[in-house]
Amino acid sequence: MNRTVDLNCDMGESFGAYSFGADEQLMKHITSANIACGAHAGDPNVMEDTVKLAKQNGVAIGAHPGYPDLAGFGRRKIELTDVEIYRYVLFQIGALHAFCKAQEVPMHHVKAHGALYNVAAKKKHVAHAIAQAVADFDQNLILYGLAGSYLVEEGKRLGLRVASEVFADRTYQEDGSLTPRNTPGALIETVDQAVKQVKGMLTEGHVTSVKGKILPIQADTVCVHGDGASAVRFVRELKTALQAEEILIESM
Amino acid sequence: MNRTVDLNCDMGESFGAYSFGADEQLMKHITSANIACGAHAGDPNVMEDTVKLAKQNGVAIGAHPGYPDLAGFGRRKIELTDVEIYRYVLFQIGALHAFCKAQEVPMHHVKAHGALYNVAAKKKHVAHAIAQAVADFDQNLILYGLAGSYLVEEGKRLGLRVASEVFADRTYQEDGSLTPRNTPGALIETVDQAVKQVKGMLTEGHVTSVKGKILPIQADTVCVHGDGASAVRFVRELKTALQAEEILIESM
Amino acid sequence: MNRTVDLNCDMGESFGAYSFGADEQLMKHITSANIACGAHAGDPNVMEDTVKLAKQNGVAIGAHPGYPDLAGFGRRKIELTDVEIYRYVLFQIGALHAFCKAQEVPMHHVKAHGALYNVAAKKKHVAHAIAQAVADFDQNLILYGLAGSYLVEEGKRLGLRVASEVFADRTYQEDGSLTPRNTPGALIETVDQAVKQVKGMLTEGHVTSVKGKILPIQADTVCVHGDGASAVRFVRELKTALQAEEILIESM
Amino acid sequence: MNRTVDLNCDMGESFGAYSFGADEQLMKHITSANIACGAHAGDPNVMEDTVKLAKQNGVAIGAHPGYPDLAGFGRRKIELTDVEIYRYVLFQIGALHAFCKAQEVPMHHVKAHGALYNVAAKKKHVAHAIAQAVADFDQNLILYGLAGSYLVEEGKRLGLRVASEVFADRTYQEDGSLTPRNTPGALIETVDQAVKQVKGMLTEGHVTSVKGKILPIQADTVCVHGDGASAVRFVRELKTALQAEEILIESM
């Protein structure tokens, strides 16, 4: 039984004059930050600012590589070869790492973004390319991936520590995948229900699907969202509620 | 008196489907490679291929950061603040470093590209921003800069090892700067003259300007060019001629 | 004496997932929209949406070309040759024009953005390059430029209709230029003062500088800002106040 | 029976400092040029130069839109929605059109590039999006597409003139599609065979597949390649051989 959990959030997704997400406020509530690396979002200015912000708040820093597509925010799949995925991910990890190194703060993990995250969950060869890039850069980095996905599996196979990621505000289907956003019932709207879902995952090791099936699930880290009107309130309330259940919120 | 010199060349400046420079052939003749980092040229594919190529040939690897301007090949000045220059350079060093780390080969130096190199030679604050990025990333990196320039000066001031760069195929003006390319007499066309100029720089520590003035100059590394029809032949002949003068060609 | 004035605003400066400016609300209050063309901001999605929005609101559409620098939002000068400026501007006009053509709405004007606007005000050769691109594309387009600047002058010289642009919320210096934003007293904070300045420009043909000098000025169009917390309120109040002075608000 | 054919070639695919294709030489031999529009290749400098070159040589000018992916040269599929494809294509047509307008030369056709061309051949909804963009921009433009593909079909359905494109140097499979490049027997290596294939297509209206099946085919335009060592020689010889067969080479 697990009574400790990490709260991770995508961060540093502003770009140039464009602001995105409530990074300053959220950084006070999360335990690990996935910082964009300039491919799907972010730029050298945003990256340094966000690394500094995470450091100040004692938040564990991760690289958040995505498809090279600023106009699509990394949400559009691009047909890259596995070799290209390996190289684009390695590039991005290195770029963010430079800011960690200059700020004398360790890099803690890597979490793929958007379409790359989704493809890596379902395609073993893509999962492998990402895991290999992480392992080749630094064997001590933790690879974050959707609980039960190929990304987690391939990370383990390469000897990496992995973090199985679950969602507080999304429902699960019979096969353990997330209900697609555009399907009715995909989102969990109340903090009460979100807390109940996370608590069940942690203390009982399972989640109940939309149709009532009980599914085993590993929950090391909970993804919380950084944009949207109520993002900050949701995270704050989720955190408070989990702590009230004597669940410890900390990074791995 | 200096009887050792490094031959450096810009490398990895291909991009996507676009080929640039005779990297494979030149890599056999040079001792240090300045590898583009995806901002003015290069991409993750080219970067990994070029790092591997340098490793295979025992050539010292340097990051070659430039202005973020693929369409301009880093030859157009962009009005960045010093903070931005620091961050863009740091980003690029980190990106290239990831490929060095994955290939288990050290990064040896940093040399700025094109317009950034030129601005850094003349603007102390820009030179400082670049030198600081190098120092903050790794105090052991060697900073390459135009002999006698602010870049060399600022590197020293921050405690970095520096390499004073000279040109074999360019003439010098009375103030020690290079004769601009579009001026008659800017280029040295024959290998004989190029060798003579380099030999004088190394063994006597001076260079003769276009108007005949004798100027003191520090020559740690000679820049050779990777593109152009006769690039490979020129480098090969220069190297042979310098060796015939019992000058040792090796990286610092 | 001029009792008619155009209110123009930069529009369509969102990009991908990034929202910028209160376009929908502002479009109800302005008479001409300068729509970004994908170089400093905007993308094909944003461009079509914004052209449609302007059409629905009966707002005159202009192309808003800028330096090709999304990360810098076109606010950083790039050292382009005049030929390059001509070509980058022509490209951008054409790109926006395609959406006008498909929506069967005319393109009305061209206004340069940010650093390009500022450089074109002061550098005759840059002003000429922009004006030439406009004239070569369509002799009927109106060229917007800072009142009294080279851009207005070069437009006239090429036989274009020009719109002299003034600012409601910025103060003027002795030489007729705008007080730089970072200088105390650069901004006019109250609507009352803004209205007073615009009214004086229109009805008396002059503006009073920060030091009290009376300067002649041509005011065909007033630039209002689309971002910032109070942008919409400011425009609405300015418009109402100008109308109360029996000044007609319409595009040229 | 058709005794007239167009020879088209992708042109203007250089980018910044990067040269691609033997445009100057090839422009003397082809009858229509598909000019890249800055998304997969090309930039405003290259676009103007190439439009001028086509004009000088009396070659019909077409826009050559592709996926927005310079690093991938438009050869990597990107998951765009149909609306996005419509808008990206419209943007690119407009951008190239501006250079035609300034040079007072008509735009003649549109041919999609690389992965976009391939996807449009097989996916009706993508074909429709492209055809709609062309039709909305100018109903008189000719839409080029793979003979027998959805692109040709959708173009017709929207009332556009279409050009069925065939290949001189590629073999065909039983279902009328091209043999994939990486399959043995995909390429036709000799000019003799290429001429024979094209002649059969034109005069008999059919092509023989790799397995010997006789397939009906419409041949309005033959695609010739602009890069590769022997590109210029191949085109010149193909043209001479076709003319010897009393086939007229001209644009539609």
The reported pLDDT for the residue numbered B1 is: 58
The reported pLDDT for the residue numbered C1 is: 57
The reported pLDDT for the residue numbered D1 is: 58
* A78 in contact with D, Cβ within 8 Å: yes
Looking at beta carbons, which residues of chain D come within 8 Å of C95?
91-92, 94-95, 98
* D15 in contact with B, Cβ within 8 Å: yes
Per the CB < 8 A criterion, the answer to whether B59 and B25 are in contact is: no
* C94 in contact with D, Cβ within 8 Å: yes
Mean pLDDT in residue range A124-147:
98
Closest approach of D72 to chain A, Cα-based (Å): 9
* A74 in contact with D, Cβ within 8 Å: no
CA distance D142 to D160: 6
* B182 in contact with C, Cβ within 8 Å: no
Using the 8-state DSSP alphabet, how is residue C70 labeled? G
Please state, for a pLDDT cut of 70, what percent of chain A lies above it.
99
Element (H, E) at B86: helix B82-102
* B129 in contact with C, Cβ within 8 Å: no
* A16 in contact with B, Cβ within 8 Å: no
Picking from A10, A18, A19, A75 by the largest number of C CB atoms within 10 A of its own CB, the best residue to mutate is: A18
The reported pLDDT for the residue numbered A176 is: 86
Per the CB < 8 A criterion, the answer to whether D52 and D59 are in contact is: no
Tokens coding D117: 């061309």
Looking at beta carbons, which residues of chain B come within 8 Å of C71?
68
Mean pLDDT in residue range B230-236:
88
Residue with tokens 């956003």: A181
In tens, the pLDDT along B60-115 reads: 999 999 999 999 999 999 999 999 999 999 999 999 999 999 999 999 999 999 99
A/B interface, count of CB pairs below 8 Å? 77
Per the CB < 8 A criterion, the answer to whether A134 and A85 are in contact is: no
State the total domains in chain B.
1
Picking from B40, B73, B78 by the largest number of C CB atoms within 10 A of its own CB, the best residue to mutate is: B78
pLDDT for B18 beyond 90: yes
Element (H, E) at B99: helix B82-102
Q: Which of B249, B193, B192, B203 is nearest to B222 (CA)?
A: B249
Per the CB < 8 A criterion, the answer to whether C210 and C172 are in contact is: yes
Q: Which of A222-231, C163-172, D189-198 comes out lowest in average pLDDT?
A: A222-231
Q: Which of A7, A93, A92, A103 is nearest to A50 (CA)?
A: A103
> A248-249 and A4-11 as β-strands: parallel, antiparallel, unpaired?
parallel
Please list, in sequence order, all residues whose beta carbon lies within 8 angstroms of the beta carbon of residue B58, skipping any fewer than 6 positions away.
none
Using the 8-state DSSP alphabet, how is residue D233 labeled? H
pLDDT for D180 beyond 90: no
Q: Which of A185-194, D70-79, D103-112 comes out lowest in average pLDDT?
A: A185-194
Closest approach of C80 to chain B, Cα-based (Å): 7
* C219 in contact with D, Cβ within 8 Å: no
Comparing C195 with A83, which gets the higher pLDDT? Answer: A83
Cβ-nearest to A70 among C70, C72, C75: C70
Range of the structural domain that residue B133 is part of:
4-249
Per the CB < 8 A criterion, the answer to whether A32 and C32 are in contact is: no
User: Is B20's CB within 8 Å of D18's CB?
Assistant: yes
Q: Which of D211, D209, D194, D179 is nearest to D245 (CA)?
A: D194
The DSSP annotation for D178-231 comes to BPPTTSTT-B---HHHHHHHHHHHHHTSEEE-TTS-EEE---SEEEE-S-STTH
Task: Decide: helix, strand or coil at residue C194.
Answer: helix
CA distance D45 to B122: 29
In tens, the pLDDT along D144-163 reads: 999 999 999 999 999 999 99
Per the CB < 8 A criterion, the answer to whether A39 and A14 are in contact is: no
The whole-chain average pLDDT of chain A stands at 95
Angle (CA) B211 B212 B213, round 5°: 100
Give the sign of the dihedral formed by CA C179, CA C181, CA C185, CA C188.
positive
* A58 in contact with C, Cβ within 8 Å: no
User: Is D73's CB within 8 Å of B16's CB?
Assistant: yes
User: Is C69's CB within 8 Å of B79's CB?
Assistant: no
CA distance C213 to C221: 22
Cβ-nearest to D91 among C38, C84, C138: C38
Sequence-ordered alpha helix ranges (H) in D57-81? none
Element (H, E) at D162: strand D161-167
Closest approach of A192 to chain D, Cα-based (Å): 36
CATH of the domain at B152: 3.20.20.370
Closest approach of C122 to chain B, Cα-based (Å): 17
* A70 in contact with C, Cβ within 8 Å: yes
Torsion of the alpha carbons at C195, C197, C201 and C204, rounded to the nearest 10 = 90
Per the CB < 8 A criterion, the answer to whether C16 and C65 are in contact is: no
CA distance A163 to A143: 6
Residue with tokens 């400082």: B128
Give the model's confidence band at A54: pLDDT under 50 very low, under 70 low, under 90 confident, else very high: very high
In tens, the pLDDT along A55-72 reads: 999 999 999 999 999 999
The reported pLDDT for the residue numbered B231 is: 85
Residue with tokens 């290195």: A94
Q: Which amino acid is at A193?
A: Q
CA distance B73 to A206: 54
Looking at beta carbons, which residues of chain C come within 8 Å of B76?
78-80
The DSSP annotation for B178-243 comes to BPPTTSTT-B---HHHHHHHHHHHHHTSEEE-TTS-EEE---SEEEE-S-STTHHHHHHHHHHHHH
User: Is B73's CB within 8 Å of D17's CB?
Assistant: yes
CA distance D13 to D18: 9
Looking at beta carbons, which residues of chain B come within 8 Å of A92?
95
Task: Decide: helix, strand or coil at residue B19.
Answer: coil
In tens, the pLDDT along A157-188 reads: 999 999 999 999 899 999 888 898 888 989 88
The answer for B196, left when phi > 0, alpha when psi is -120 to 50, beta otherwise, is alpha
A208 φ, ψ (degrees, to nearest 5): -100, 125
Mean pLDDT in residue range A134-147:
98
CA distance A128 to B120: 42
Q: Which of B101, B94, B4 is nearest to B51 (CA)?
A: B101
The DSSP annotation for B42-64 comes to --HHHHHHHHHHHHHTTPEEEEE
Measured distance between the N- and C-terminal CA atoms of chain C, rounded to whole angstroms = 16
The reported pLDDT for the residue numbered D182 is: 83
Closest approach of B18 to chain D, Cα-based (Å): 6
Q: Quick one: three-class SS letters along chain A?
A: CCCEEEEEEEECCCECCECCCCHHHHCCCCCEEEEECCCCCCCHHHHHHHHHHHHHCCCEEEEECCCCCHHHCCCCCECCCHHHHHHHHHHHHHHHHHHHHHCCCCEEEEECCHHHHHHHHHCHHHHHHHHHHHHHHCCCCEEEEECCCHHHHHHHHCCCEEEEEEECCECECCCCCECCCCCCCCECCCHHHHHHHHHHHHHHCEEECCCCCEEECCCCEEEECCCCCCHHHHHHHHHHHHHHCCCEECCC
Per the CB < 8 A criterion, the answer to whether B59 and B27 are in contact is: yes
pLDDT for D10 beyond 90: yes
- Indicate the angle between helix axes D231-244 and D191-203, nearest 10 degrees: 50
What is each CA distance from A179 to A116, A176, A183, C88, D213, in whole angstroms?
18, 9, 7, 45, 48
Sequence-ordered alpha helix ranges (H) in chain C? 23-26, 44-56, 82-102, 114-122, 124-137, 150-157, 191-204, 231-244
Looking at beta carbons, which residues of chain C come within 8 Å of B78?
69, 72, 76-79
Residue with tokens 């420009």: C201
The whole-chain average pLDDT of chain B stands at 95
CA distance D79 to C52: 25
What's the residue count for chain A? 252
Looking at beta carbons, which residues of chain B come within 8 Å of A95?
91-92, 94-95, 98
CA distance D111 to D164: 11
User: What is the pLDDT tens value at each position of chain C, 252 positions in all?
Assistant: 568 999 999 999 999 999 999 999 999 999 999 999 999 999 999 999 999 999 999 999 999 999 999 999 999 999 999 999 999 999 999 999 999 999 999 999 999 999 999 999 999 999 999 999 999 999 999 999 999 999 999 999 999 999 999 999 899 999 888 898 888 989 888 888 998 999 999 989 999 999 999 999 999 999 998 777 788 888 999 999 999 989 999 999
* B69 in contact with C, Cβ within 8 Å: yes
